[in-house]
């Protein structure tokens, strides 16, 4: 359920105090000072995805400070990632100063002082998560804070649309298990982002390896979908089909070959199971994404040297022989 706090209905003389309290309670304790005279306007909406807190803040020009005294009031160490939606900001942490433009990302550590200066009305997404969940060193986090991370290309370009969609989605639309999985994915992405920025010489390889793992996981979770294809996989990960194929150039296989191989492995595993109500060969094939039974049989024979039915019979005979004699079949019958 989303929580929305706004100064809209607050008396003008109380708006600044209300906004300070709203931001401090929603994010972490901090001081907020308007840059301009006159009534202040601000709105912050927050929802949770498991242990990940997602907030969207829109306000008039202001200065934000997180001081050592305010840090002492906080019980948990958090890492925040801000996405500048509109307006600009000057961000300072760990002795570094960054000019943040629309579309830029910033990473900050709530256990050390920082400040944001917004010279005009602005909007930003803020993602906060327990620092312990990231699994990255304090030194790596310090390498990243106090910098503006562009999202025009590279890993940032892939990350930005995902974060924007996540921030604009309603938390009520996700079952708890899905919300926890999404939070875990975001943690992995943030950890990759920090590693990429902290170790520039390794960033391309690390980002590529992480993306390959995500694609492989996506394939494994969607093997039963007959429409699973490189085009749909690329669309799901917001990359081009050409880039997807480039990712797998060093994997010793193509995306299409990997999908077929994993489907055949699951079919072979299921056909080898024993049981009174064993599913038909065609039912197994359909369950794992093969629409055409004849095509499935040809692909299976090409991979294993026998037909699916012969595979099932051989595995059944071998299991029966093992039960009777305690010995496996000779190699010639495998």
Provide DSSP, 91-124: EEETTEEEEE-TT-EEEEETTS-EEEEESS-EEE
- Confidence (pLDDT) at 194: 86
- Token pair of 61, please? 């020009």
pLDDT at 22 over 80: yes
- Confidence (pLDDT) at 283: 93
Segment among 108-122, 294-308, 317-331 with least mean pLDDT:
317-331
pLDDT at 260 over 50: yes
- Token pair of 194, please? 């920090």
- Confidence (pLDDT) at 321: 61
- Token pair of 124, please? 């930003």
- Confidence (pLDDT) at 117: 98
Burial bucket for residue 208 (CB in 10 Å: 0-12, 13-18, 19+): middle
The DSSP output letter for 61 is S
Domains along the sequence of the chain with CATH: 3-198 (2.60.120.10), 206-334 (1.10.10.60)
Mean pLDDT of 126-143: 89
Q: Average pLDDT over the chain, rounded to whole?
A: 87
What is the value of pTM for the model shown?
A: 0.59
- Confidence (pLDDT) at 177: 78
- Confidence (pLDDT) at 161: 84
User: Residue 125: enclosing H or E segment and its boundaries?
Assistant: strand 122-130
Mean pLDDT of 31-36: 95
pLDDT tens-digit profile of 94-118?
Answer: 999 999 999 999 999 999 999 999 9
Top pLDDT among 208 and 295 is at: 295
257-263: long-range contacts at Cβ-Cβ below 8 A with a sequence spacing of 24 or more?
A: 258/216, 258/219, 259/219, 259/223, 259/228, 259/229, 259/289, 260/299, 261/303, 262/219, 262/220, 262/223, 263/223, 263/288, 263/289, 263/290
pLDDT at 275 over 70: no
pLDDT tens-digit profile of 62-98?
Answer: 999 999 999 998 888 999 999 999 999 999 999 999 9
Q: How confident is the model at residue 333 (pLDDT cuts 50, 70, 90)?
A: very low
Burial bucket for residue 318 (CB in 10 Å: 0-12, 13-18, 19+): middle
Do the Cβ atoms of 158 and 102 come closer than 8 Å? no
């Amino acid at each position: 359920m989303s929580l929305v706090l706004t100064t809209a209905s607050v008396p003008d003389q109380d708006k600044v105090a209300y906004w300070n309290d709203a931001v401090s309670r929603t994010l972490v304790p901090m001081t907020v000072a308007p840059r301009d005279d006159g009534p202040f306007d601000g709105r912050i909406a927050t929802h949770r995805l498991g242990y990940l807190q997602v907030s969207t803040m829109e306000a008039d020009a202001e200065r934000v400070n997180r001081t050592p005294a305010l840090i002492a009031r906080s019980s948990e160490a958090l890492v925040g990632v801000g996405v500048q939606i509109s307006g600009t900001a000057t961000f300072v942490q760990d002795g570094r100063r960054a000019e943040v433009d629309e579309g830029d990302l910033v990473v900050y550590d709530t256990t050390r002082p920082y400040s944001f200066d917004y010279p005009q009305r602005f909007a930003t997404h803020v993602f906060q998560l327990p620092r312990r969940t990231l699994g990255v060193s304090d030194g790596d986090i310090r390498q990243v804070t106090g910098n503006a991370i562009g999202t025009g290309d590279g890993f940032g370009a892939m990350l930005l649309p995902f974060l924007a969609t996540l921030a604009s989605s309603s938390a009520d639309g996700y079952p708890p298990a899905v919300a926890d999985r999404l939070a875990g994915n975001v943690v992995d992405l943030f950890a990759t982002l920090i590693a990429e920025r902290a170790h520039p010489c390794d960033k391309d390889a690390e980002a590529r390896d992480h993306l390959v793992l995500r694609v492989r996981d996506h394939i494994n979770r969607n093997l039963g979908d007959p429409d699973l294809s490189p085009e749909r996989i690329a669309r799901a990960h917001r990359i081009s089909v050409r880039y997807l194929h480039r990712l797998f150039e060093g994997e010793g296989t193509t995306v299409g070959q990997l999908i077929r191989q994993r489907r055949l492995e699951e079919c072979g595993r299921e056909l080898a199971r024993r049981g009174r109500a064993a599913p038909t060969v065609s039912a197994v094939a359909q369950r794992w994404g093969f629409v055409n039974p004849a095509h499935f049989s040809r692909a299976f024979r090409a991979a294993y040297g026998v037909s699916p039915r012969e595979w099932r019979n051989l595995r059944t005979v071998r299991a029966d022989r093992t039960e009777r004699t305690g010995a496996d079949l000779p190699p010639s019958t495998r």
